[in-house]
Amino acid sequence: MKNPCNGPLFSKAFRAPKQVSKNILDKESVDELIYNTRSQRDRLIMELQARCGLRIGEVLKIKVSDISERKLLIREPKSGKEGEVAFMSEQVARRVDEYIRSKNLSADSRLFPISYSTARSMIIKLGSKLNLKVAPHDLRRYSATHASRNGIPLEIISKIILRHQDLKTTQVYLGKVSESEAIRWMDILHAK
């Protein structure tokens, strides 16, 4: 007996969705985006995403009191936990501190008191000026891919940079490895 689910009508109606390849930015493009910003605020928003792996919503919720040296307390993260900690490089932490002092922000002030749509629009417009199709989440994806390409262990990328619960989620963020990249890593691994 033939399985009715294998018929042409069902196979067309229930096709698996096509996998859309994600936009993975390269270091030069991200640096160009960041350095071409007009304001300190816009630069920091993009750096916190691209260099620290934060989601745009997390960046926009940060209050001055959530910052402690090089750590950021993420309140009400996507994971559903009460809070998570994200880390900043020394340079980014210094720029955040300078920004807070220059704006004379109080402890209960939001670091960036703008809406999601304003931040998204700013990133998309800046990308189009540089002939790049870029959305805020592309900067977070870049953070993971850049770390991976520079030899950071997957566990660190997953649990520390992106703060994912599952390694499988992190693997979706990483771009495909080209043949030349694979050969380069084999040479590094086995010392040429």
Instruction: Identify residue 73 by its one-letter amino acid code.
Output: L
Residue ranges per structural domain of the chain: 23-189
With a CB cutoff of 8 Å and minimum separation 6, the contacts of 74 are 54, 58, 61, 62, 66, 83, 84, 85, 86, 163
Class of domain 23-189: mainly alpha
- What's the mean per-residue pLDDT of the chain? 87
Q: What is the mean pLDDT of residues 165-171?
A: 82
Which residues contact residue 39 at a Cβ distance below 8 angstroms, ignoring those fewer than 6 apart? none
Comparing 24 with 69, the larger pLDDT belongs to: 69
Nearest to 66 by CA among 95, 34, 93: 93
What's the order of all strands across the beta sheet hosting 67-68?
67-68, 71-75, 83-87
Say which residue the tokens 């096709």 belong to.
15
How much is the average pLDDT of 142-152?
89
Written as six digits, the tokens of 67 are: 């910052």
What is the pLDDT, as a whole number, of residue 111?
97
Burial of 125 (0-12, 13-18, 19+ CB in 10 A): exposed
pLDDT bin (cut points 50, 70, 90) of residue 16 is low
Q: Which of 116, 142, 141, 114 has its CA nearest to residue 32?
A: 142
pLDDT 10s digits, 33-92 = 999 998 999 999 999 999 999 999 999 999 999 999 999 999 988 877 888 999 999 999
- Indicate whether 31 pLDDT > 80: yes
**Best mean pLDDT range from 7-11, 79-83, 101-105:** 101-105
